[in-house]
Amino acid sequence: MGTLTEESVGQYLKENPGFLASWFVDHADDDTLKILARKLKQDAISLRNSRSPLPPESGLSAVEERADSPRSSSEDSLSTDQSEVKKIQNYTTFSKVGRNSITSMIFRKYLDGDRTRRASVKKDLDDLRRMSEEELFMELIRDIASELDVTVLCHKILQNVSILTNSDRGSMFLVRGSKENKYLVSKLFDVTESSTLEQSIHTEANEIIVPFGVGIAGNVAKSREAININDVYADPRFNQEVDKKTGYRTHSILSMPILNYEGEVIGVAQIINKVSGNHEFTKQDEELFHKYLTFCGIGITNAQLFEMSVNEFKRNQLLLHLARGIFEEQSNLEKLVQKIMLDAQDLLKCEKCSVYLLEDSFER
């Protein structure tokens, strides 16, 4: 390899302006960018001052001169350069400090994995039950308003619904699958007012899958209408095997769809066994349940979109890292292929990876 000189570096940068811009974005500090911006501004002022003004007899004002005379290519270039420098400054500033908002702080915590799943922060149950219906409703809405973790949000919803309707426990199913083949997956099961998230969550290993139109939850998802059953053992849609496995006796079920802002079903929530009276859910319970799930549908949709944006951001960061690594390693084919395979394994979460290179000629 030849000796690296300032002249050769300068020549390379002239021939590769894209690399220079990319380097500034990734590595230049604020002081360097300010110096560059100041220099471009001074050059632009000098160029403007050096232009000879039109004689007075021309009858053209300075404004008319600027409007009618064509801009020189050097002026356009300077204007473009200043614009690009401004973009670079804005980009680097954003990259270093980010937007000064609560949302950006939450987003950064999700990216860094520095977040804890918090249970509902509620007052004592006795205090809640002493509230009026309207006060209780608003208190439970505030409890879920800022939650962006889908699992924690669903757990809070079921606990709050149990308080609102005075039910013993609840379960939630979320919609999965393609538009043509949708099904329900149990997200949380048998959530009570006092149960923890860890006790109620269903992992992929023990989740229950319910096709649309099957069972109580499946019929609710398909019809988009609530089902209120006072005696589940008299209804053929109820699966009695669940009670046999858990040892719990189900008397009544109130099941309702959770809709997004477009009216599409995104989940089904069920509450089980009214605690007071004859264990039957009333019309008032249905109205409260429906009203609360309207807000819950908005919250779940927002949490799912936030989760998707975090995952997409991480994916794009990994792709950028992959692309940068490929372009940095251009001198050794073996190292380049090895880097591609390692990054591909990280991206696709696979155990093994192979790369096949196409040769120009092949002799047997």
User: Using the 8-state DSSP alphabet, how is residue 70 labeled?
Assistant: P
Can you say how many angstroms the Cα of residue 332 is from the centroid of all Cα atoms in its chain?
38
Looking at residue 59, its pLDDT comes to 41
Pairing of β 209-211 and β 227-229: unpaired
Q: Quote the CA–CA distance of 140 and 292 in Å, as a whole number.
A: 9
Looking at residue 272, its pLDDT comes to 94
Looking at residue 57, its pLDDT comes to 43
Q: Quote the CA–CA distance of 62 and 59 in Å, as a whole number.
A: 10
Q: Quote the CA–CA distance of 244 and 266 in Å, as a whole number.
A: 29
Q: Quote the CA–CA distance of 110 and 112 in Å, as a whole number.
A: 6
Looking at the chain, list the stretches that DSSP marks H as alpha helix, in order from N- to C-terminal side: 6-15, 17-27, 30-50, 62-68, 73-97, 102-112, 125-130, 133-145, 150-165, 197-200, 215-223, 241-246, 283-328, 333-348
Q: Of 130, 133, 134, 159, give the one whose Cα is nearest residue 144.
A: 159
Quote the crossing angle between the two packed helices 133-145 and 150-165, to the nearest 10°.
170
Looking at residue 131, its pLDDT comes to 74
In order along the chain (364 residues), what is the average pLDDT of each group of 10 residues? 69 71 66 66 59 44 40 46 49 47 58 54 61 76 82 89 90 90 88 83 79 94 95 91 84 94 92 87 92 90 88 83 75 81 80 81 58
Pairing of β 167-177 and β 227-229: unpaired
Looking at residue 174, its pLDDT comes to 94
Looking at residue 163, its pLDDT comes to 87
Looking at residue 78, its pLDDT comes to 44
Looking at residue 238, its pLDDT comes to 92
Spell out the residues 6+ positions from residue 139 whose beta carbon is closer than 8 angstroms to its own: 122, 123, 128, 131
Looking at residue 29, its pLDDT comes to 66
Q: What are the φ and ψ backbone dihedral angles of 64, each rounded to 5 degrees? A: -65, -35
